[in-house]
Amino acid sequence: MLNKKVEKILVEQIEKEAYSSNLYLAMASWAENQGLKGSSDWLYAQADEERMHMLKFVKYVNERGGKAVISALQQPPADFKSVKALFDEVLKHEQYVSESINNIVAVCYDEKDFTTMNWIQWFVTEQIEEEASVQEIIDKLNLLGDGNLYQFDRDIMSLRSAQNAAAE
């Protein structure tokens, strides 16, 4: 049976993962409207990945005897100043999610829920990869400055493919 404090923080994470999916979906739509197909494809894929993370939490909570609650979500922003500003927001958001995952680990430790603490380690590792992935994109955008985004946008999905291959 899932500890009630652990259940509460996992249910809170379900909402955060759902919001992450919606945020990246909104960002993808913005990028697509800017003619940035590569960036929008990357963000659409990221939105799908965050939804899968949400589902992992939902299923885990339910399988462990808790009750996964799906709450209403705040509307994400729809406009961004630039591609660089958008990816800066992605990194900031991923850092927020990393902090949230670390808080789950801390609650699991305090509550001696070592089963959930073991399960959540996948997300700890995933967040390290997520932050590194976005930082690599920001590094490339910093190299470009306000230059031509054509090649960056064309090649962004290859960054994702390379990172996925390295993770396997």
Contact 122, 4 (CB under 8 A): no
Residue ranges for the binding site?
17, 50, 53, 94, 127
Residues of the chain with pLDDT > 90: what percent? 83
* Structural domains of the chain, ranges and CATH numbers in brackets: 4-160 (1.20.1260.10)
Q: Which of 131-136's residues contact partners 24+ apart within 8 Å by CB, and which partners?
A: 131/91, 131/94, 131/95, 131/98, 132/163, 133/159, 133/160, 133/163, 134/87, 134/90, 134/91, 134/94, 135/91, 136/163
The yes-or-no verdict on residue 147 having pLDDT over 80 is no
- Tens of pLDDT along 28-53? 999 999 999 999 999 999 999 999 99
Residue ranges for the binding site for Fe cation?
17, 50, 53, 94, 127
The yes-or-no verdict on residue 167 having pLDDT over 90 is no
Say what the pTM is: 0.90
